[in-house]
Amino acid sequence: MAEGQWSPGRKEADADEFRPVLDIVEPARQRRLTVLLRLLLLVPHFIVLFLLHIAAFFTVIVGWFAALVLGRLPDPVFRFLTGVLGYDMRVSASDMLLIDRYPPFALTPPADYPVQIEVRPTPLNRLAVLFRIFLMIPAAIVQSLAVYGWWALAFVWWLITLCLGRMPRPLFEATAATLRYRMRFSAYVMMLTPAYPKALFGDDGLAVPPEQARSATRPLVLSSAAKWLVVLFLVLGLAGHITSSLTASTTDDTTDTQLVDRT
C-alpha cells in the first residue's frame, strides 16, 4: 500500500484472545530530506511524549487500583491510556523510519494516518492485575533486548534508508515486529489488554487472509531475512546489556579501590 491509502478491511479474528494490533501502511518511498533530519524534526514530539508518559504513569496507578476492584479499567482511563499508546507508536514509527508522514499532535489521529493501533476494552483477571509487575518481567527483558539491539545499529538503518529513499522490506518487517512487540508489552503494562505480549517473530499468516490484509503489518509475516534481523537485534541487545553491566561493575570497583587508597 502507498502512504495514505487506508483500507480498513475486517477485524482480526479472535482465536483464543485478541492481541493489540499495530497497523502500518508502508510508504513506497521516503523523502531523503525528512530522513536526514528525522530526529531533529521529532524533538517537539519527544517533549510532548515525556509529559504524556508522566501523566500516564499516575493514570496507570489509578487504573491498577480500579482494575483490582472492577475487574477492568474505567472507560476514561482506558481511553486516555489508549491515546497515549497510539501517540507513542506514531512517533516511534517515525523515528524508527517506518513511515515518512509527520505525526499529528493529537491523541486521536486522522483516519488516513498510516499508523493506527487497535485495542479493545476487555475484562481483566484481578489476580493477573495484582501481580502484573512480576508477570511482565520476561516480556520486559525481551522487548528491552530487541529495542536496544535495533538502536545499536540505528545509524546503519538510517544510512541505508537515506541512500535508498526507502527501508528495505526485510528491515521494515523486522523493525515493525520489534515496534509491535513493544506496543503489545506497553499495552499489557498499562492493563489495556490481558493478552501477554507474543509474536516477536511475526504471525503465521492465518490471522487475516492475505486478500483481506488491512495493512503491511496485519498480518505481519516475516521473511527469513527479517527473522534473522530480529535475532541480530536480540543478540546485539544482550551484548550491549552485558557490556554495560561489566563497565558499570568495573567503574564501581575502581571507585571503591580509589576510596580505600585515599583512606
pLDDT tens track for 15-72? 457 899 999 999 999 999 999 999 999 999 999 999 999 999 999 999 999 999 999 9
What is the crossing angle of helices 169-189 and 154-164, to 10°?
Answer: 130
What is the crossing angle of helices 75-95 and 169-189, to 10°?
Answer: 150
Q: pLDDT tens for residues 146-157?
A: 999 999 999 999
Residues paired with residue 218 on neighbouring β-strands, in sequence order? 215
The yes-or-no verdict on residue 7 having pLDDT over 50 is no
Read off the pLDDT of each residue in 167-184 and give the average, rounded to a whole number. 97
210 — pLDDT class (breaks 50, 70, 90) = low
Q: Which residue has the higher pLDDT, 243 or 193?
A: 193
Read off the pLDDT of each residue in 5-11 and give the average, rounded to a whole number. 41
Question: Tell me, what's the pLDDT at 208?
Answer: 52
Q: How far apart are alpha carbons 259 and 263 in whole angstroms?
A: 6
The yes-or-no verdict on residue 205 having pLDDT over 80 is no
Whose grid coordinates read 520486559? 140
The yes-or-no verdict on residue 93 having pLDDT over 90 is yes
Query: For residue 58, is it left (φ>0), alpha (ψ between -120 and 50) or beta?
Result: alpha
Q: Could you tell me if 18 and 120 are in contact, meaning their C-beta atoms sit under 8 angstroms apart?
A: yes
Q: What percent of the chain has pLDDT over 90?
A: 78
Per-domain residue ranges of the chain: 18-245
Question: Tell me, what's the pLDDT at 241?
Answer: 86
Question: Tell me, what's the pLDDT at 261?
Answer: 63
Read off the pLDDT of each residue in 104-116 and give the average, rounded to a whole number. 94
Question: Tell me, what's the pLDDT at 235?
Answer: 97
209 — pLDDT class (breaks 50, 70, 90) = low
pTM of the model: 0.88
Question: Tell me, what's the pLDDT at 17?
Answer: 77
Write b or e for each residue in 82-108: b if 16 or more Cβ atoms lie within 10 A of its Cβ, otherwise e: bbbbbbbbbbbbbbbbbbbbebeeeee
Q: Could you tell me if 4 and 102 are in contact, meaning their C-beta atoms sit under 8 angstroms apart?
A: no
Q: What is the mean pLDDT of the chain?
A: 88
Contacts of 144 (CB under 8 A, 6+ apart): 237, 241
Read off the pLDDT of each residue in 114-132 and give the average, rounded to a whole number. 95
Residue 42 CA to chain centroid, in angstroms? 17
The yes-or-no verdict on residue 245 having pLDDT over 90 is no
Element (DSSP H or E) covering residue 156: helix 154-164
